[in-house]
């Protein structure tokens, strides 16, 4: 059987798509559908058509991997013209999700029937696009622009019930969707009935849409597809259908070619690829996790315990003494209280979550837990003694995880007699908010432990990325390069606000100086001292006691607890003094130069991480940075960004920086050099071709 097959039942041609996993509308499906519709129209024994699908999805939309490639006929708009222009009524039988082009197929039909569990949406906005096969024109005409626009703006699907209420569906059934759709198709053929379009486009609807559009444009923050969406939908009130379609098509094609949509499409696939664990097959099943224990009730441990409680998993929060335990529990309660005050959590839900967190003193409380996550002080001796203790009390088969940010997991595991059960689970602060979870896989750890940590991460609402063991794993190892680059820039002539502005201009929420002030400059200082490292400016700021927001000053001034820092003339003078002491003649840097100097060394480190097998794929690195460090998704992550700049350009800039600073570590990594040289600089980290 091909991807599209037709069965004629009585006088209705049921055209069924079967293109696993999600029935995306790739070229072969479009061709199959076009042929089936043409054939049914030509068949005198057929009076009506049903478009149906096999599998869990009706149609998940256009095949995203085809975007940006040479077009193959028929295009989706042409196919939908054929469906909409069918002389015989066509009814969609929607048994699962109908998304993007999938919903547009259904909209081109004369009527739509769906199963109760079906969901319908136009998620193109999330890929930096707008619907491009009539969605912006047909949906407002069917349900009114005031209802259609928010669906396209949020990209979130609606339930079948909601769609019925909107008038998007004609019928919702709990079973036999194809039979019911066939019946409806026959009736439509017999009566010649059909919905009259444009009846929802009233003046009141236009006014409601314009109000929503004005608000959306205000919040668009430079996203090019929001104005495009407004323009396309607005045209339903001023242009005939065919001209509106042309407007939509033009805007869609512009957006498909835009680097920002390319980046978001890369992220879409990278997010799915990251879930595939190299060398671990589907036969490896996760261990059962019914309860957990977290060691350490500090900010991190408390946040991790909240993740479990939020997911409905009972968790024991363990400390060495009652006082820090009470502090930790109070902090958790206070965080939940803020959510209650904001209205995002009911008092009942807060009580249920608090009841799932059981405070306890002493490691023996971890005895029954299926997984124990250690979030104690970041010092090897402390971690080892905890793991030795856990080895004595934890039940056989329990997973023992360390939340360390930097330390060597095999050394921690060696403190136990069960290294096969030990791995890293590195959460990001605040742990109850940040999506990233680095799952650190050692050579010794059992595959099912890795699979369990990943599955658990998803249950906790995280994006788990499996990484190899090595100082700072993926995220912090690259962050360290950015931190060093910041220090170099400060000494060379840039000021904190200039460095931060370059990064916020790029799309980060915060630059490195503001970030350090927020996290506390003393954290990096302590870690540098422990490793015998120096950073003249950062050290001097800490020596002055300027630890950041918590002390009212750091790289910036924070008068009266202000959250946004102000330039500090004293800090700027101190930086100038350090440059002078080093004999550096300060010079000014453009934002572009600052960006290159901050990000190129990160890309270089990313290449080294790939060489060492610490990350399985470049896309994994991008997912780490987007979910753990606020790298703007529409910039695709550091590896995608490197490709968009050109690896040859980055390699050249790194060589120049290495020569200028005399720092050999800044020389382009072998992988970067190789890819930069390949095909005269067109080598790519993230492209699959
Ligand atoms: C569009 O339609 C534009 C039109 O308006 C105009 C065109 C002219 N294409 O997510 P999963 C793959 S834009 C290609 O893990 P789930 C996915 O990569 C499109 N591939 O499953 C993965 O592959 P693999 C608008 C796709 O059950 C596999 O399917 N539509 C597509 O968790 C399973 O995916 C969207 O944005 C696609 N469209 O969730 C919907 N969709 O196994 C995007 C999925 O090799 N899709 N794949 O890694 C989704 O939201 C989810 O995939 C869905 C299933 C909810 C359908």
Per-residue pLDDT tens over the stretch 356-387:
999 999 999 999 999 999 999 988 999 999 99
When pLDDT is cut at 50, 70 and 90, the band that residue 689 belongs to is very low
Our answer to whether residue 207 is catalytic in this structure is no
In the structure, which protein residues have their CB atom closer than 6 angstroms to any atom of ligand 1? 21-22, 24, 57, 60-65, 76, 97, 99-101, 104, 123-124, 127, 131-133, 135, 269, 272
CA quadruple 609, 611, 612, 614: dihedral sign: positive
* Per-residue model confidence (pLDDT) at position 424: 98
pLDDT at 686: 81
Whole-number Å distance, alpha carbon 20 to ligand 1 midpoint, is 11
C-alpha torsion 179→180→183→185, nearest 10: -100
Sheet holding 57-59, edge to edge: 57-59, 97-99, 119-121, 158-159
Q: Mean pLDDT across the stretch 517-528? A: 90
Instruction: Specify the ligand 1 atom closest to the Cα of 276.
Output: 48
Beta strands in 30-156 (DSSP E): 48-53, 57-59, 90-94, 97-99, 111-115, 119-121
Q: Catalytic: 254?
A: no
Residue in this structure with the two tokens 């607005």, named with its chain if needed: 234
Distance 272 CA to ligand 1 centre (A): 10
Which among 408, 352, 132 is positioned nearest to 248, based on CA atoms? Answer: 132
> 92 pairs with which residues across the strands?
51, 112
Secondary structure E strands in 194-347: 292-295, 315-319
CA of 55 to the centre of ligand 1 (A): 14
Active site residue: 104, 186, 248, 319, which one? 104
pLDDT digits (tens, 9 = 90+) for 408-451: 999 999 999 999 999 999 999 899 999 999 999 999 999 999 99
Nearest CA to ligand 1 atom 5: 131
Q: Which atom of ligand 1 is nearest to the CA of 122?
A: 25
Tell me the CA–centroid distance for residue 155 and ligand 1, in Å: 13
Whether the model pTM is above 0.75? yes
* Nearest ligand 1 atom, CA 123: 36
The residue that leads in pLDDT, 684 or 103, is 103
Q: What is the pLDDT of residues 218-277, one digit of tens each?
A: 998 778 899 999 999 999 999 999 999 999 999 999 999 999 999 999 999 999 999 999
pLDDT tens-digit map of 60-69: 999 999 998 9
Residue 23 CA to ligand 1 center (angstroms) comes to: 9
Q: What is the residue-averaged pLDDT of the chain?
A: 95
Read off the pLDDT band of 642 (50, 70, 90).
very high
pLDDT in tens, 129-161: 999 999 999 999 999 999 999 999 999 999 999
Question: Which residue has a Cα nearest atom 56 of ligand 1?
Answer: 60
Please report the pLDDT score of residue 585 as a whole number. 96
* 120 CA to centre of ligand 1 in angstroms: 14
Query: Which atom of ligand 1 is nearest the CA belonging to 272?
Result: 48
pLDDT tens digit sequence for 648-681: 999 999 999 999 999 999 999 999 998 888 765 5
Atom of ligand 1 at shortest range from CA of 275: 48
Residue to mutate, 21, 225, 455, ligand 1, most ligand atoms under 8 Å from C-beta: 21
Nearest CA to ligand 1 atom 40: 60
Nearest CA to ligand 1 atom 50: 60
Residue with CA at minimum distance from ligand 1 atom 39: 22
Q: Which of 66, 124, 248, 379 is catalytic?
A: 124
Whole-number CA gyration radius for the chain: 29
387: closest CA among 426, 428, 439, 423?
Answer: 423
Pocket test of ligand 1: the residue of 27, 55, 60 to mutate, having most ligand atoms within 8 Å of its CB, is: 60
Q: If pLDDT is split at 50, 70 and 90, which confidence band does 192 have? A: confident
Quote the pLDDT of residue 198: 54
Ligand 1 atom 28: the closest Cα is on which residue? 21
Q: Supply the pLDDT for residue 688.
A: 57
Q: What is the pLDDT of residues 324-354, one digit of tens each?
A: 999 999 999 999 999 999 999 999 999 999 9
Question: Rounded CA gap, 623 and 563, in Å?
Answer: 28
Residue 4 has pLDDT above 80, yes or no: yes
For ligand 1, atom 54, the nearest C-alpha belongs to: 22
Q: How far is the C-alpha of 397 from the C-alpha of 670, rounded, in Å?
A: 41
Nearest protein Cα to ligand 1, atom 32: 272
State mean pLDDT over 503-524.
Answer: 93
State how far the Cα of 173 lies from the Cα of 195, in Å rounded to an integer.
20
**CA-nearest residue, atom 43 of ligand 1:** 60
Taking residues 40-64, report their average pLDDT.
97
Q: Express each pLDDT in 530-573 by its tens digit.
A: 889 999 999 999 999 999 999 999 999 999 878 889 999 999 99
Question: How far apart are the CA of 361 and the centre of ligand 1, in A?
Answer: 47
Instruction: Tell how far CA 436 is from the center of its chain.
Output: 9
- How many Å apart are CA 380 and CA 413, to the nearest integer? 11
SS3 96: coil
Distance 103 CA to ligand 1 centre (A): 13
Task: Tell me: pLDDT of 596 over 50.
Answer: yes
Task: Please give the pLDDT value at position 677.
Answer: 83
Ligand 1 atom nearest residue 104's Cα: 5
Pocket test for ligand 1, best of 57, 61, 252, 271 (most atoms within 8 A of CB): 61
**How many angstroms from the chain centroid is the CA of residue 21?**
21
In DSSP terms, which residues pair with 172 in a beta bridge? 114
Q: Which atom of ligand 1 is nearest to the CA of 131?
A: 5
Identify the pLDDT of residue 523.
86
Query: What is the CA(196)–ligand 1 centre distance, in A?
Result: 32
Res 310: pLDDT: 97
Rounded to the nearest angstrom, the distance between the alpha carbon of 60 and the centre of ligand 1 is 5
Atom of ligand 1 nearest to the CA of 127: 36
């Amino acid at each position: 059987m091909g991807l599209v097959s037709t069965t004629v039942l009585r006088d209705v041609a049921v055209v069924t798509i079967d293109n696993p996993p999600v029935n995306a509308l790739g070229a072969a499906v479009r061709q199959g559908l076009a042929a089936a519709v043409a054939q049914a129209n030509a068949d005198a024994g057929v009076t009506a058509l049903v478009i149906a699908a096999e599998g869990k999805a009706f149609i998940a939309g256009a095949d995203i991997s085809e975007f940006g490639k040479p077009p193959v006929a028929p295009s989706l708009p042409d196919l939908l013209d054929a469906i909409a222009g069918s002389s015989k009524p066509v009814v969609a039988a929607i048994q699962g999700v109908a998304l993007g082009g999938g919903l547009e197929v259904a909209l081109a039909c004369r009527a739509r029937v769906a199963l109760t569990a079906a969901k319908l949406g136009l998620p193109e906005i999330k890929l930096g696009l707008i619907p491009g096969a009539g969605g912006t024109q047909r949906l407002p005409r069917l349900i009114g622009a005031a209802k259609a626009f928010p669906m396209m703006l949020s990209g979130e699907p609606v339930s079948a019930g909601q769609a019925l209420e909107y008038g998007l569906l004609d019928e919702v059934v709990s079973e036999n969707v194809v039979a019911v759709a066939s019946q409806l198709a026959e009736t439509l053929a017999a009566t010649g009935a059909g919905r009259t379009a444009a009846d929802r486009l009233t003046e009141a609807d236009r006014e409601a849409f314009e109000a929503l559009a004005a608000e959306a444009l205000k919040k668009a923050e430079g996203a090019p597809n929001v104005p495009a969406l407004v323009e396309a939908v607005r045209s339903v009130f001023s242009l005939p259908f065919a001209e509106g379609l042309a407007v939509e098509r033009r805007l869609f094609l512009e957006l498909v070619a835009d680097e920002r949509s390319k980046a978001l499409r890369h992220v879409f696939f990278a997010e799915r690829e990251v879930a595939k664990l190299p060398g671990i097959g589907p036969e490896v099943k996760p261990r059962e996790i019914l309860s957990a224990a977290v060691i350490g009730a500090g900010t991190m441990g408390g946040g991790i315990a909240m993740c479990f409680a939020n997911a409905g998993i009972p968790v024991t929060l363990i400390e060495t003494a009652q006082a820090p335990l009470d502090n930790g529990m109070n902090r958790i309660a206070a965080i939940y209280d803020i959510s209650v005050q904001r209205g995002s959590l009911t008092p009942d839900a807060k009580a249920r979550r608090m009841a799932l967190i059981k405070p306890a003193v002493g490691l023996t409380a971890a005895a029954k837990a299926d997984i124990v996550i250690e979030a104690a002080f970041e010092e090897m001796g402390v971690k080892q003694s905890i793991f030795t203790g856990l080895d004595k009390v934890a039940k056989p088969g329990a997973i023992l995880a360390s939340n360390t940010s930097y330390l060597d997991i095999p050394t921690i595991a060696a403190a136990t007699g069960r290294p096969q059960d030990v791995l890293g689970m590195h959460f990001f602060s605040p742990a109850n908010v940040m999506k990233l979870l680095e799952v650190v896989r050692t050579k010794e750890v059992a595959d099912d432990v890795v699979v369990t940590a990943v599955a658990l991460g998803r249950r906790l609402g995280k994006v788990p990325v499996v990484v190899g063991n090595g100082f700072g794993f993926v995220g912090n190892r690259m962050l360290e390069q950015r931190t060093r680059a910041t220090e170099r820039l400060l000494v060379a002539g840039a000021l904190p606000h200039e460095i931060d502005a370059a990064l916020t201009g790029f799309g980060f929420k915060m630059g490195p100086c503001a970030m350090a002030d927020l996290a506390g400059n003393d954290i990096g200082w302590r870690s540098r001292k422990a490793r015998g490292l120096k950073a003249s400016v950062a050290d001097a700021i800490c020596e002055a006691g300027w630890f950041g927001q918590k002390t009212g000053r750091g790289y910036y001034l924070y008068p009266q607890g202000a959250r946004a820092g102000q330039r500090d003339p004293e800090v700027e003078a101190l930086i100038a003094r350090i440059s002078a002491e080093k004999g550096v003649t300060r010079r000014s840097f453009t934002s572009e130069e600052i960006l290159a100097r901050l990000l190129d060394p990160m890309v270089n480190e990313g290449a080294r991480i790939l060489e060492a097998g610490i990350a399985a794929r470049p896309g994994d690195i991008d997912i780490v940075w987007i979910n753990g460090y606020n790298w703007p998704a529409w910039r695709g992550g550091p590896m995608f960004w490197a490709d968009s700049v050109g690896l040859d350009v980055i390699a050249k800039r790194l060589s120049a920086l290495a020569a200028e600073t005399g720092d050999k570590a800044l020389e382009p990594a072998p992988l970067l050099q190789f890819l930069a040289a390949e095909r005269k600089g067109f080598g790519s980290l993230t492209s699959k071709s």
